[in-house]
Amino acid sequence: MGNQDAIDRHHENDMMKEIIALREKYDLHMKVDKFIRQNDGSNDNAKKYIRE
């Protein structure tokens, strides 16, 4: 299992769902830095959790 799979599972747990709901309720924003290897062929599913 790759690192992105672990991140995706983490975002699906109940605690993160509550944090995401609070972020929406209070219009909170965060900065996320993600470092990836070039040409590693991974799918970037994390974008759906980031509010610009």
Q: 3-class DSSP state for residue 9?
A: helix
How many domains, in total, are found in the chain? Answer: 1
Residue 24, CA atoms < 13 Å, CB-side half-sphere = 7
Tell me the per-residue pLDDT of 9-49, one tens digit each, with 9 for 90 and over.
888 899 988 988 998 999 988 777 777 666 655 556 666 76
Phi, psi of 44 (to 5 degrees): -90, 80
The helix-helix angle for 3-11 and 14-25 (nearest 10°) equals 60
Write down the pTM of the prediction: 0.50
Closest by CA to 20, choosing from 11, 33, 10, is: 11
Expressed as residue numbers, the domain containing 9 is 3-49
